[in-house]
Amino acid sequence: MSQAKIKRNIILFQIVILMSFSIFVVRIWWLQNMGENSATYQILANVNRFQDVAIDAPRGVMYDRNGTLLVRNRPMFDVVIVPAFLPDDETEKAQIYATLSGWLQLPITTAGERELPSRNGYFRSFMHHEYSRQPSMQVRNPRSRQVKNRPLGIKDSVEAGPAFAPYKPIVIAEDVEPKVVALIEENRLDLPGVLIEIGSQREYLMGELTSHVIGYVGAISPELEDSFPAPFYDPNEDVGIMGLEATYETYLHGQRGFEKIEVDVTGRKMRTINKEQESIPGNNLRLTLDLRLQEIATEALQNAIDVSKGQSGVAIAMDPRTGEILSLVSLPSYDNNLFATGISEREFLSLAENEQRPLLNKAISGQYPPGSTYKHLVVAGALEEGVITSEKVLFDPGVIYLPNRFVPYDLELAQPFFCWDRGGHGWVNAVRALTVSCDVYLYKIGGGWEQEDVEGLGVTRIGNYAARFGFGAVTGVDILGEEKGIVPTEQWKRHNFAEAWFIGDTYNMSIGQGFVLVTPLQLLNSYAAVANGGTFYQPYFVSEVRNLQQEIIYTAKPIVSGQLGISQETLDLVRQGLRGVVNLGGTAYPQIDLAGITSAGKTGTAEFCDEYPACLDEDGRVKTSHAWYVGYAPFDRPEIVSMAFVYGGGEGSAISAPVVNAIFRYYFGLDQDTAEAEHLLTTVAPDTLFKSRMVGSNIIHSPYASVSGIVFNHQKKGVPNVTIQLIADGRPFIHVKTNSVGQFHYETIDPNFAQNWQIELGNYPVENPIRLTVGTGIQYLLEFEAKSGSQ
């Protein structure tokens, strides 16, 4: 080929390349500047580079009636790895894994690990409990020692991630300690690809103490999807499942905001473009619950259960004037944090299959024979219906015999009905019948007694009065799961037992036995109506709801749900009977001791038989019984009505009355002596040296930072009236005092005013004053404790 031809080819070639380059330049120019097209790109780009994301709104929190925080949102930190950002070098990668492994207590790889003998469950769990922070492979609750699967090592997790999506963050460890977070953040330059993701975790500060009231949040289950529609709820969001969390979901749930953000390859936010809708945090609930009373009731009830070798129990206290529930205890309880953090199957089963049914709120869902506590309505009914008069006395010989229907004159075949006191109560009128809880009197007015010319109320009328007293219907309390109990009728028995109703059934019903079942709250509510003069209020737990700006957006007003509809005379007679119960000669005489404050009440010992015939004594009488007590005080102007129930507890007077007594004593401040003694304990000598520490932090929705904390003495008791000094950039700024239980709060620390704050005690030296570089919207939780050794 000729040189000229080659030359020509080359020039041709050069032209082709030059043209290509020119086309490229035009293309770039076009990409950058073509109006129509770049607009198209912009729109399409929004799909991609810009994302509309939801801003989570923090869920509202709850306080007890005195302002003690019961529920909070704890920041939760997850460690994630973006595989694409890991160093290419295997050695460096291994180094990162090793570092993380040390900090997170996770194995690098479990590939070579021997399969553990599955036979030995304990060994297994012992070997692996330290891996429990790893997600999905294990249970999510760190307290549990149980592992579902063999854990994956860090390296295994990364390699198990989808290879085609190396920018997808892989969660290595969930909910790691702040210490580890700090370590990772400090060393982030040496840990390319390792990131921290922040989430929020519901934390129930009181755990078991309030779990039956507060309930818990959990994932939206498929059947609930419709209740929590998409734009307002994220499918991954936690919603209230039980308790107040569920009832007040609409208040607690914040309104998610939306913003347009620019994301990088990993989908990580780089900057906010604009906020399309601000998120509105959930509203805070103030409960009617008194945490201290809840503690005292729990303690007393647990004690009663332990003493009586009972199984479970309920204690409730309520204000009869409004329906505010002051405390509600159902034992055994469960830790609702388990549900909030994700409960393991095993843990759930152990709770669900527990015979004592800790998950059941027995105060509203438990249905038990009420025993003698049912007598108030039977007596009231008999008086109202004129079955008896208040003066009429009936004789209690200790036992009466209900003649056999077919051979009425054969006493051998007659059915005996005993009084609880086999010695009998002698001549008894209506008031005294309640005071001494005379069963025979009740048999007679309930089922009739010809020999003394008592016609008897009969099953229907007892049922009517039971309904008037609120039985057989829900009370309307603001937590879910309320049962109705059973008010038996003839028809009911025929339907359920295919048997006719006998007089004997009426006798049993008259003393709250037989087919009668009530829930503890129903019982309490019926006595509340007796106490307040005949009005039923819907019991409730939430007194007010406040939004972020502390504006009250809901105030509970007592809701009247019904009237007793019983004459004042009858009511007074019933009250007199109940008054006598706590006086000399009454069934609860020594147990209710309120130092001069008058009260009234009713004991109940309800026989039940779970295991026939193990529950019978040698005479063939049922020996197992539930212990009930329900009472109110002061007698003239009742402020509190309270009940206690111990399943299988035995005598109501001996077992349950002391629980109510403890509740009353706390309520009326009768244990001032001990309170004062405690108060003495909660002071500290001058010059006591304190040490301080930061316990944690919360994310709050506020333009300010805040501090909350507690000052402890040597016994870990809160010290009241201690001055807390806040120092801004070296200058004293403000001081606050601790409240009666040693807590303090200061909510408006302005990070713009000063960044560096120091927190000291006013009157005591602090070994290590707390220094904070405050950030907007963070609540710092502090703790001061008297140093041991310095009295």
Q: CB of residue 124 vs another protein: minimum separation in angstroms?
A: 33
41 makes contact with another protein (CB under 8 A):
yes
User: Of 186 and 678, which CB lies nearer to another protein in the complex structure?
Assistant: 186
Q: Among the candidate windows 36-44, 196-204, 458-466, 540-548, which touches another protein by CB under 8 A?
A: 36-44
- The single residue among 36, 118, 163, 686 that binds another protein, judged by CB under 8 A, is 163
Q: State in angstroms the smallest separation of the CB of 259 from another protein.
A: 18
The nearest distance, CB 94 to another protein, in angstroms, is: 12
HSE value, Cβ hemisphere, 13 Å, CA-based, for 576: 14
User: Binding string to another protein for residues 60 to 89, with x set by CB under 8 A, is what?
Assistant: -----------------------xx-xxxx
CA distance 258 to 735: 39
Answer yes or no whether residue 31 interacts with another protein by CB under 8 A: yes
Indicate whether 23 belongs to the interface with another protein (CB under 8 A): yes
Compute the least distance from the CB of residue 88 to another protein, in Å. Answer: 4
CB of 153 to another protein, least distance (A): 16
- Whole-angstrom distance, CA of residue 45 vs CA of residue 38: 10
The amino acid that residue 380 corresponds to is A
Please, which residue, 164 or 409, has the CB nearer to another protein? 164
Task: Name the segment binding another protein (CB under 8 A); options: 24-32, 213-221, 437-445, 503-511.
Answer: 24-32
Q: What is the DSSP string of 283-344?
A: PEEEES--HHHHHHHHHHHHHHHHHHT---EEEEEE-TTT-BEEEEEEES---THHHHH---
Instruction: Please identify, using beta-carbon distances, which residue of 89 and 412 lies nearer to another protein.
Output: 89
Tell me if 552 contacts another protein by CB under 8 A. Answer: no
Which tokens belong to 557? 């007003």
Q: Is 49 in the site for another protein (CB under 8 A)?
A: yes
Residue selected from 167, 401, 427, 753 as contacting another protein according to rule CB under 8 A:
167
The encoded tokens of residue 555 equal 């105030």
Strands (E), 101-207: 170-173, 194-204
Using CB under 8 A, pick the residue from 75, 135, 142, 192 that binds another protein: 192
Nearer to another protein, 84 or 414 (CB): 84
Q: Specify the stretch interacting with another protein by CB under 8 A; choose among 144-152, 159-167, 590-598, 753-761.
A: 159-167
Q: Which is nearer to another protein, 48 or 715 (CB)?
A: 48
Long-range contacts of 608-613 (CB under 8 A, 24+ apart): 608/368, 608/369, 608/648, 610/648
Q: Which residues of 537-575 are buried (b: 16+ CB within 10 A; e: fewer)?
A: bbbbbbbbbbbbeeeeebebeeeebbebebeeebbebbb
The nearer residue to another protein, 14 or 567, going by C-beta atoms, is: 14
Q: Are 78 and 175 in contact (CB under 8 A)?
A: yes
For residue 167, the minimal CB distance to another protein (Å) is 6
CA distances from 229 to 235, 257, 260, 342 (A): 9, 15, 22, 22
Tokens read off for 177: 């300690």
Number of residues that bind another protein (CB under 8 A): 46
**Residue 405 in contact with another protein, rule: CB under 8 A:** no
Residue 47 contacts another protein per CB under 8 A = yes
The three-state secondary structure class of 132 is coil
- % helix / strand / coil in the chain, to the nearest 5? 35, 25, 40
| Binding map of another protein across residues 262-301, x = CB under 8 A, - = no contact | xxxx----x-------------------------------
Task: Check if the beta carbon of residue 303 is closer than 8 Å to that of residue 266.
Answer: no
1 binds another protein (CB under 8 A): yes
Which residue stretch of 25-33, 438-446, 740-748, 756-764 sits at the interface with another protein (rule: CB under 8 A)?
25-33
Binding region for another protein (CB under 8 A) out of 23-31, 301-309, 402-410, 674-682: 23-31
Please state the closest distance from residue 24 (CB atom) to another protein, in A: 5
CA 40 to CA 748: how far, in whole Å?
47
Does 98 sit near another protein (CB under 8 A)?
no
**Which residue number, 60 or 83, has a Cβ lying nearer to another protein?**
83
- Edge-first strand order for the sheet with 600-607 is 325-331, 313-318, 640-646, 625-633, 600-607
- Which stretch, 163-171, 407-415, 544-552, 576-584, contacts another protein (CB under 8 A)? 163-171
- Assess 7 for contact with another protein (CB under 8 A): yes
DSSP 412: G
Q: Give 17 or 98: the residue with its C-beta nearer to another protein.
A: 17
User: Which pairs count as long-range contacts for 754-759, CB under 8 Å and 24+ apart, including other chains?
Assistant: 754/728, 754/729, 755/729, 756/728, 756/729, 756/730, 757/726, 757/727, 757/728, 757/729, 757/733, 758/726, 758/727, 758/730, 759/692, 759/707, 759/709, 759/724, 759/725, 759/726, 759/727
Residue 262 CB, shortest distance to another protein, in Å, is 7
Distance in angstroms (rounded) separating the CA atoms of residues 398 and 587 = 16
Q: b or e along 441-451 (b: 16 or more beta carbons within 10 Å of the residue's beta carbon)? A: bbbbbbbbbee
Cβ 107 to another protein shortest distance, Å: 20
- Is 45 one of the binding residues for another protein (CB under 8 A)? yes
Could you say which DSSP state residue 407 is in?
S
Residue 109 contacts residue 81 (beta carbons within 8 Å): no
**What are the E-state strand segments in 557-685?**
560-563, 600-607, 625-633, 640-646
Give CA torsion, residues 5, 6, 11, 12, to 10 deg.
Answer: 70
Nearest approach, Cβ of 28 to another protein (angstroms)? 5
Piece of the chain touching another protein by CB under 8 A; list 27-35, 175-183, 497-505, 556-564: 27-35
CB of 165 to another protein, least distance (A): 8
Exposed e or buried b per residue across 389-403, where buried means at least 16 C-beta atoms within 10 angstroms of its C-beta: eeebbbbbebebebe
Q: Which is nearer to another protein, 88 or 355 (CB)?
A: 88
Q: Could you give the CA distance from residue 166 to residue 82 in angstroms, rounded to a whole number?
A: 7
For residue 9, the minimal CB distance to another protein (Å) is 5
Kindly list the distances between the CA atom of residue 690 and the CA atoms of 707, 733, 769, 783, 790, in Å, as whole numbers in the listed order.
18, 21, 9, 10, 9
Stretch that binds another protein, among 30-38, 235-243, 382-390, 417-425 (CB under 8 A): 30-38
* By CB under 8 A, residue 634 contacts another protein: no
Q: Considering the rule CB under 8 A, would residue 44 count as an interface residue with another protein?
A: yes
Mark the segment that binds another protein (CB under 8 A) among 212-220, 259-267, 387-395, 643-651.
259-267
- For residue 489, the surrounding DSSP H or E stretch is none
CB closer to another protein out of 6 and 552: 6
Q: Which of 228, 221, 240 is CA-nearest to residue 285?
A: 240
Q: Residue 758: which of 721, 722, 732 has the closest Cα?
A: 732
- Tell me the window of 43-51, 66-74, 347-355, 400-408 that interacts with another protein (CB under 8 A): 43-51
Structure tokens given for 272: 């906010």
DSSP, res 669: T
Q: How far is the CB of 180 from another protein (least distance, A)?
A: 24
Q: Which stretch binds another protein (CB under 8 A): 20-28, 53-61, 422-430, 445-453?
A: 20-28
Q: Is 427 in the site for another protein (CB under 8 A)?
A: no
| Out of 35, 36, 48, 789, the residue judged to bind another protein by CB under 8 A | 48
Positions that interact with another protein (CB under 8 A): 1, 5-7, 9-10, 13-14, 17-18, 20-21, 23-25, 27-29, 31-33, 38, 41-42, 44-45, 47-49, 83-84, 86-89, 93, 163, 165-167, 192, 262-265, 270
